[in-house]
Chains A and B, each alone.
Chain A
């Protein structure tokens, strides 16, 4: 019996060590040599804790293209290229359902810029408008047949002029897909509004098309259109060879020109997307939340430990030991599963600390009953565990059912909460059934029987 108790304690010790290693990585192996490093919790933090933005984009049907899963996949690749240009560390892009894309951008400081960059279709078109220059801001209709011209600037007095719509079919010569490269430049000595430009270069075949077209249309207007809106409409002065050119669209800053270059390099989205959900947490709030929840966790752990100790005496101490192990194993599992810790997730964790003692409490109260009924300690401990099993099992399975539903239907932080709560419940069952039992048996074997037996007397009703 004693040796079996020793074996169980040894097993628990091994589990504890493995869990500590998994959760905190205090030992790193360089080659074969163990290297001790400062233990730190390795855990993915949700955007609500580390700060950052989450965007949900929805692909929109157009008259010509439907937002099929294929089109959405293609859009995701474009968005990925654009995000790479933003310099975000570890962005994630995933599809949700048939036509949604979830983008997570940890740690970005200017979400509005990201939104502008990611949400733009960025379809660049070089349009032949013949002898007709188009004012900046003119818009083609969805069927490409009519153009809405912006009204002249509002006069100090009188009605603002209504926008005019004219019939003008869009004749596209080349598109952004024909570009080989694009970058922002500063046009030294350029007129105001033409200081910042985007230089571009066409691919081989498109460069030839461009050259032929410009040669044949000297003196006419080549209008450059982005997402159906005119950026600029320069006159063709001469044949343009080599496929290079530049867009001076009245950019107000180098950033604006740079953003357009980023969009052109990444390519156009095959379908337009709409931002249907956007959540951003500033880095400050993230830090505050981590700090606050850490403090809350400590207080909770200490409160529960003291409570158990005062209420159950030696049994409580053993349960506290098991609780410590419970926490380490829980963190290890979350870390190993790559779970993402969110703010509600931490709250779930803390709540699970409070509830983790439940199984212990059920068992200890059971042992009290058995002791009062006159059983000896060993029999009472055995009966306590056996009788408590069904209650522990049934009560926890029902909680797990709620957790599973939250996990399947929830998203983001709620899902994080479901994960920590469910794993917490499962580990707490293991902890009470296996670990506390081993500790209690060990205490009994070590001759602490009388101290244990006091359980029934001291707090007996």
Chain B
């Protein structure tokens, strides 16, 4: 059976600590980037407006050579990234004429240049895409809160699941801030997929908690959550691994164009799996224990359940923050249900 050694909920402080450790560098990077005047994130032309050229050269070249040419034609700061024989050039919006002049100059200085991709986004469109992106994330989160609140009859589940989500979004955004990978509209797709995946993962655990609660064992809430976590742990890991295998294949074999996208998804799946185990359920327990203490203090034992989601009302008094492992009687009751 599930080893009692694995007291995930008991160790939740470590889980929170690790989360903080994961989030803080990203947040610092965001702030440092913003303070350094580089923009908190490496906004792509989708959001800033501008031109993107993805070129393939035949001769070896350096970023410096490219920059020397680009700076003659593009005003303002241009971003130039090299990936093997390909180069990504992002500039402020260029006139059609300036773009062809730039290409001609590159061909003159650096030999054969093949245009793989060229994009122009007007500044107005950029603002619109950014607003839509924010709107998409907010609406997506709101819909999920509503759905979970409805299905679990408690806003606690929705809010703690969302806290885990915000954690994941922060981690992924932090990674993009640290690595300065380009933030464009595919980044929004990454965020929303991570939202979808992370919530999916959390719901499976919550579903087990809901089911175990419905059996009305007298197990303390934190023990019950820990047991639910362990019961779903194998599934969480299996699915997480399987999804990571799949997306890792895209990262390795999918080509340069899709690499950042795949990387973002991988990071999101890892943190999504982590947060549903160590954050969402842990927060649920902490919330429960807090309202319980408050109820205990005000009503001295004769407590009513603080929310409809906790039907094991008689167990309230025994669920002090300290218990390690379920009581023998609780375990016996648990096995009886089988």
Q: Which residues of A does B touch, CB under 8 Å? A: 48, 56, 58, 111-112, 115-116, 274-282, 284-285, 288-289, 292-293, 295-297, 299-300, 303-304, 307-308, 311, 343-344, 347-348, 350-351, 353-355, 357-358, 361-362, 365, 368-369, 372-375, 387, 390-391, 394-399, 401-406, 409-410, 413-414, 417-418, 421, 461
Residues 217-233 of chain B, each 1 if its beta carbon lies under 8 Å from chain A, else 0: 00000000000000110
Interface stretch (choices B14-22, B138-146, B286-294): B138-146
Extra contacts, 8 of them, besides A354-B247, A414-B188 (Cβ < 8 A), are A278-B121, A282-B115, A292-B258, A351-B250, A355-B243, A365-B235, A398-B148, A405-B192
Interface centre among A299, A311, A414 (most CB of B within 10 A): A414
Q: How far is the CA of A225 from the CA of B114 in the complex (A)?
A: 37
Task: Tell me, rounded to whole Å, the shortest Cβ–Cβ distance linking A272 to chain B.
Answer: 15
**Residue B204 is within 8 A (CB to CB) of chain A in the complex:** yes
Task: Tell me, rounded to whole Å, the shortest Cβ–Cβ distance linking A109 to chain B.
Answer: 10
- Given A355-B197, A397-B147, A405-B136: A391 in contact with B186 (beta carbons within 8 A): no
Interface residues on B, range: 35 or more
**Residue B64 is within 8 A (CB to CB) of chain A in the complex:** no
**Residue B241 is within 8 A (CB to CB) of chain A in the complex:** yes
Q: Which residue of B is nearest A355, CB measured?
A: B243
Q: Which residue of A is nearest B122, CB measured?
A: A276
One of B1, B235, B248 near A372 (C-beta < 8 A): B1
Whether A350 contacts B247 by the Cβ 8 Å rule is yes
Q: Classify the secondary structure of B's interface with A.
A: helix
Whether A374 contacts B338 by the Cβ 8 Å rule is yes
Whether A303 contacts B189 by the Cβ 8 Å rule is no
Whether B255 contacts A292 by the Cβ 8 Å rule is yes
Q: Which residue of B is nearest A365, CB measured?
A: B235
Whether A391 contacts B208 by the Cβ 8 Å rule is yes
A residues less than 8 Å from B96 (CB atoms):
112, 115-116
**Residue B246 is within 8 A (CB to CB) of chain A in the complex:** yes
Q: How far is the CA of A115 from the CA of B147 in the complex (A)?
A: 46
A residues less than 8 Å from B192 (CB atoms):
402-403, 405-406
Q: How far is the CA of A115 from the CA of B70 in the complex (A)?
A: 22
Q: Classify the secondary structure of A's interface with B.
A: helix
Q: Which residue of A is nearest B238, CB measured?
A: A361
Q: How far is the CA of A395 from the CA of B148 in the complex (A)?
A: 10
Task: Tell me, rounded to whole Å, the shortest Cβ–Cβ distance linking B24 to chain A.
Answer: 27
Whether B196 contacts A421 by the Cβ 8 Å rule is yes
B residues less than 8 Å from A409 (CB atoms):
132, 135-136, 139
B residues less than 8 Å from A358 (CB atoms):
200, 235, 239, 242-243
10 interchain pairs, CB-CB under 8 A: A112-B100, A289-B258, A292-B253, A300-B246, A344-B186, A374-B338, A395-B207, A399-B200, A401-B144, A402-B144
One of A277, A279, A350 near B250 (C-beta < 8 A): A350
A residues less than 8 Å from B3 (CB atoms):
461
Q: How far is the CA of A112 from the CA of B239 in the complex (A)?
A: 47
- Given A399-B197, A401-B144: A461 in contact with B234 (beta carbons within 8 A): yes
A residues less than 8 Å from B100 (CB atoms):
112
Task: Tell me, rounded to whole Å, the shortest Cβ–Cβ distance linking A274 to chain B.
Answer: 8
- Given A357-B242, A406-B136: A285 in contact with B116 (beta carbons within 8 A): yes
B residues less than 8 Å from A418 (CB atoms):
189
Whether B147 contacts A398 by the Cβ 8 Å rule is yes
A residues less than 8 Å from B148 (CB atoms):
394, 398
Residues 49-72 of chain B, each 1 if its beta carbon lies under 8 Å from chain A, else 0: 000001010000000000000000
Q: How far is the CA of A361 from the CA of B211 in the complex (A)?
A: 18
Interface centre among A311, A343, A362, A409 (most CB of B within 10 A): A409
B residues less than 8 Å from A362 (CB atoms):
204, 235, 239
Task: Tell me, rounded to whole Å, the shortest Cβ–Cβ distance linking B238 to chain A.
Answer: 5
A residues less than 8 Å from B132 (CB atoms):
409-410
- Given A390-B207, A398-B144: A410 in contact with B246 (beta carbons within 8 A): no
Q: How far is the CA of A281 from the CA of B115 in the complex (A)?
A: 8
B residues less than 8 Å from A304 (CB atoms):
242, 245-246
Residues 14-55 of chain B, each 1 if its beta carbon lies under 8 Å from chain A, else 0: 000000000000000000000000000000000000000010
- Given A365-B232, A410-B136: A351 in contact with B265 (beta carbons within 8 A): yes
B residues less than 8 Å from A292 (CB atoms):
253-255, 258
Chain A to chain B: the 3 pairs with minimum beta-carbon distance, closest first: A354-B246, A292-B255, A354-B243
